Amino acid sequence: MDCGTPQRATSNAFFGEGQGVIWFSSVTCLGNETSLGHCRYSPSGSFSCSHSEDAGVICSATIRLTNGTDMCSGRVEVHRGEHWSPAFNINWGMNEATVVCREMNCGEPVKISRSFGQGEDLRGHEIHCNGTESSLTQCMFRNYTRSITDSIEEASVVCSGNVRLTGGSTRCDGRVDYFNKGQWGTVCAESWDIDDAAVVCRQLDCGKPHKLIQLGPGTGQTWTDQIECNGRESTLNQCQQRPYPDRTCNNTVVAGVFCTESLAVHLVNGTDECSGRVEVRHGAQWHTVCDTDWTLSKAGVVCESLQCGRAVKAHGGAVFGRGSGSVVEASNSCFDNVTSLQQCSVKGFTRATCGHEYDAGVLCAGKPPIRLVNGIDRCSGRVEILHDGQWGTVCDDEWDLRDAEVVCRAMDCGPPQRAKSSAFFGEGQGKIWLDNVNCLGNETSLGHCRYSPSGSFLCSHSEDAGVICSATIRLINGTDMCSGRVEVHRGEHWSPAFNVNWGMNEATVVCRELNCGDPVKISRSFGQGEDLRGHEIHCNGTESSLTQCMFRNYTRSITDSIEEASVVCSGNVRLAGGSTRCDGRIEYFDEGRWGTVCADSWDIDDAAVVCRQLDCGKPHKLIQLGPGTGQTWTDQIECNGRESTLNQCPQRPYPDRTCNNTVVAGVFCTESLTVRLVNSTDECSGRVEVRHGEQWHTVCDTDWTLSKAQVVCETLECGRAMNAPGAAFYSPGSGPVVEASSSCFETVTSIQQCSSKGFTRTTCGHEHDAGVLCAGQEAFCNHRCRFLVAVKKHYKSGWWMAQVNAPAEWRSSIKDSGELCVMTIGK
């Protein structure tokens, strides 16, 4: 296309759906090809794909860097007058370079005078910027023609790149900062994993990821797209990016990584990262260690630094091969403890006269081993870890599905099915090594999560944590645990299911076995693995496990167009019996079937997770509905409101394992509302927006009256209308504007009918957007606490909380400024 560098690879029909034939799928380019036809791909007819998955691209249209070492360095060329021409190095400085790096999403300028060779163009441009421009096109241009003997070179720039690590001890560890849209921002940690970290370490020339770390949010923007790398990309912007369903992120912690080049010591030439020749770092240089005075206790300091357990043996005599470069002493001052080793890495080590034939080595016990005990298969049981040569258990305080996900990954199992507590798999013995484990779910070891170590807590073996993982099936490379390519565990390893007669019967069994509800789609591509050997699978759809289906070995050739089977499941929660998909009775999929949820302990935190999981906004109110049909689950679900899916919440049996199921849990989420109020301090005041289908419209203030505003307040259960401001009092909105017609704003029913049938468009501009101020919300509070009730009252322009002591099952109605509050207390 003769464009500049790629800014973004877009998916999911970002630029609208096309028409006609879809020619390519599963395109895999190295990036240096001149045509997509030179890349690997699946041709038309060999795949199932819809136009909702049309691919797109955003390239730089006005600027490019040529002849550099990467996309963020090189000679500067601009596109003017239908062709590319150079910028010349005439008063070229940091201001100009700043604009170039910003426009290219390449961070900040590092160097402006490096030569990347010279082009052949004699005609080009002298460019002057003040450094604040968002594009080089906004700077001042002057045509310049150089003679053959002219010494003026073409302008060049080296940018920092679009990723950096901050807040750590070196440039190779810390908080991940990503440059996008002209600014640095941190990265949401919720989906950050070891593959993403591998790309960052590689891009920064920092080796490999040693461990994922969690850091405070820092300052500025936190990007809310989830970055999905496969670990083989060379830069972070080559990875796919997808918005989180609710476009929000729990940014109390953000993504971080500790790369191996930030370590004070590493082990090389061993069988794994916990054995090998000892090398210590000073600055950017690595040194071997002389085996004179090399002891097991000093080797133990190395093992501890690398989180590799205890030292098993301290080798000498270059057992792991001879190194190169300088050799340093194994002095007591440097190898006394982890801190002293880090200090010597900064200040320097003492050189030794020792030769490389005396290079020291170490064999460590390894990363804390983990095992599952007393389960029904290799992927279920009580969680036990080995520490200081002794197996011990994990306490179940704060133990949830994200912690279980880490255990399942470490055990090479499929996704977690259940995080178990209260010694579900029996009580263990010996030490309880960890408590208050708090994982994000993307870590490779429990040791990388936050936790309280042994000796800092009180816990008994009656609280031993357990886990149930899928032992035979997993979905990989999907957007969540309920979508992706299908892999099965047979013959001691994972191998793919191939898309040979793969259909709804097979997908039904997969979704059922993974507790992921019903199949929604079976033909979406989630990339392709490298395995040529796998399975053709046939099911009748009634099986409880894929292992009960018929398997046939299948080997594809390199030119084979057969893709790996994939599935998108509905997920394990849905709302039924309501007016839209975002309100109604909560139904939860477990043990292969849908069931309702007991309402006895259901609260606003639980509802918040359901609304978030279904991409339905926030909970507007809790509702009680009749029991429906089928099972009612008798475990109480206890969410803190920040989980992304309901199965991440702890579940505990009711004491008597019974539930008053004459009413079951329900919720009315905000995306099911026919009207909402935005851009204010609370949900009972703001700019009026009405919904038709999936689209929200603002309302013109022509004919906007207090009585019509009252209909809005009544719909939102926000009391009476106090004021009906116009003229975009709550700021102008966006999108279509509709009339405040009497037919739509006469009653709550009429506004609901117009939301279904449609509103009348108007030519009114957003400077006339209508708003409303309601008196306050009618609150229905349902709490687990026995004697403490939280009462919401409207005070001037805000809300405040009052606490009232009351006996269990206490109910009262309070009238305050025309507002009705109803409080209930659970048992």
Going by DSSP bridges, is the β-strand pair 675-678/240-243 parallel, antiparallel, or unpaired? unpaired
Going by DSSP bridges, is the β-strand pair 370-374/380-387 parallel, antiparallel, or unpaired? antiparallel
Q: How many helices (H) and strands (E) does the chain have?
A: 9, 58
For residue 444, give the nearest of 568, 241, 273, 245 by alpha carbon: 273
Residues 375 and 452 in one domain: yes
Residues 677 and 769 in one domain: yes
Residue 51 within a domain: no
Residue 14 within a domain: no
Residue 578 within a domain: yes
End-to-end CA distance of the chain: give it in Å, rounded.
68
Residues 463 and 381 in one domain: yes
Report the alpha-carbon distance of residue 263 to residue 464 in Å, rounded: 34
Residue 4 within a domain: no
For residue 488, give the nearest of 468, 466, 514 by alpha carbon: 514
Report the alpha-carbon distance of residue 707 to residue 717 in Å, rounded: 15
Going by DSSP bridges, is the β-strand pair 24-28/40-43 parallel, antiparallel, or unpaired? antiparallel
Query: Under a CB-based contact definition with an 8 Å cutoff, are residues 667 and 619 in contact?
Result: yes
CA distances from 721 to 548, 712, 748, 777 (A): 61, 8, 14, 11
Residue 19 within a domain: no
In the chain, the amino acid numbered 93 is: G
For residue 386, give the nearest of 409, 406, 366 by alpha carbon: 366
Residues 712 and 759 in one domain: yes
Report the alpha-carbon distance of residue 459 to residue 417 in Å, rounded: 25
Report the alpha-carbon distance of residue 277 to residue 362 in Å, rounded: 7
Residues 550 and 619 in one domain: no
In the chain, the amino acid numbered 372 is: L
What does the DSSP assignment read for 733-775? --S-EE---TTTSSSHHHHHHHHHH-PPB----GGGB-EEEES
> Which residue segment(s) compose the domain that 815 sits in?
779-825
Q: Angle 541-544-545 (CA atoms, 0-180°, nearest 5)?
A: 95
Residues 151 and 178 in one domain: no
Across 396-532, where does the E strand assignment appear?
Answer: 416-420, 432-438, 450-453, 466-469, 473-476, 483-490, 493-496, 519-521
Residues 383 and 317 in one domain: no
Domain end position, chosen among 244, 261, 278: 261
Residue 49 within a domain: no
Q: Is 663 exposed, middle or buried, given 0-12, 13-18 or 19+ CB atoms closer than 10 A?
A: middle
Domain end position, chosen among 364, 397, 426: 364
CA distances from 647 to 450, 474, 569, 637 (A): 21, 17, 15, 9
pLDDT at residue 246, rounded to an integer:
58
Query: Under a CB-based contact definition with an 8 Å cutoff, are residues 721 and 750 in contact?
Result: no
Mean pLDDT per block of 10 residues along the chain (827 residues) reads 80 87 85 82 76 87 86 89 88 92 88 75 90 91 85 88 88 89 83 86 88 75 81 82 67 83 90 89 91 93 86 90 94 93 92 94 81 92 84 90 89 88 91 89 80 80 94 87 90 86 93 90 76 91 92 84 88 87 88 84 89 87 77 82 81 70 84 88 89 90 93 89 92 91 92 90 92 71 33 32 32 32 34
pLDDT at residue 788, rounded to an integer:
30
* Residue appearing with tokens 């043996």: 313
Which residues neighbour 595 within 8 Å (Cβ) at sequence distance 6 or greater?
Answer: 587, 588, 589, 630, 631, 632, 633
Report the alpha-carbon distance of residue 348 to residue 326 in Å, rounded: 12
* Residue appearing with tokens 């060329």: 77
Residue 120 within a domain: yes
CA distances from 762 to 378, 693, 700, 702, 712 (A): 64, 18, 7, 10, 19
Residues 84 and 103 in one domain: yes
pLDDT at residue 352, rounded to an integer:
93
Report the alpha-carbon distance of residue 330 to residue 337 in Å, rounded: 12
Query: Under a CB-based contact definition with an 8 Å cutoff, are residues 612 and 623 in contact?
Result: no
Report the alpha-carbon distance of residue 571 to residue 615 in Å, rounded: 12
Per residue in 487-506, is it b (16+ CB within 10 Å) or e — as a string? bbbeeeebbbbbbbebeebb
Residues 291 and 301 in one domain: yes
For residue 274, give the nearest of 362, 390, 338, 213 by alpha carbon: 362
**Dihedral of CA 245/246/252/254: which sign?**
positive
pLDDT at residue 655, rounded to an integer:
67
Q: Angle 89-90-96 (CA atoms, 0-180°, nearest 5)?
A: 75
Copy the structure tokens of residue 36: 């997509």
Per the document, the length of the chain is 827
Residue 582: φ, ψ to 5°:
-105, 15
Which residues neighbour 245 within 8 Å (Cβ) at sequence distance 6 or greater?
Answer: 612, 613, 615
3-class secondary-structure state, position 587: strand
Report the alpha-carbon distance of residue 466 to residue 392 in Å, rounded: 13
- Domain CATH code at residue 562: 3.10.250.10
Domain end position, chosen among 649, 671, 693: 671
pLDDT at residue 657, rounded to an integer:
61
Query: Under a CB-based contact definition with an 8 Å cutoff, are residues 231 and 198 in contact?
Result: yes
Copy the structure tokens of residue 394: 């994990």
Residue 237 within a domain: yes
pLDDT at residue 237, rounded to an integer:
80
Residues 174 and 201 in one domain: yes
3-state helix, strand, coil in the chain (%, to 5): 15, 40, 45
Residues 238 and 273 in one domain: no
pLDDT at residue 382, rounded to an integer:
96
* Residue appearing with tokens 């080089």: 136
In the chain, the amino acid numbered 59 is: C
**Dihedral of CA 341/343/345/348: which sign?**
negative
Neighbours of 609 (CB within 10 A): 24
Residue 774: φ, ψ to 5°:
-95, 160
Based on the structure, what is the number of domains in the chain? Answer: 8
3-class secondary-structure state, position 194: helix
Residue 757: φ, ψ to 5°:
-85, -30
Going by DSSP bridges, is the β-strand pair 685-692/675-678 parallel, antiparallel, or unpaired? antiparallel
pLDDT at residue 251, rounded to an integer:
65
Residues 359 and 429 in one domain: no
pTM: 0.55
β-sheet bridge partners, residue 420: 466
CA distances from 424 to 2, 434, 648 (A): 63, 17, 18
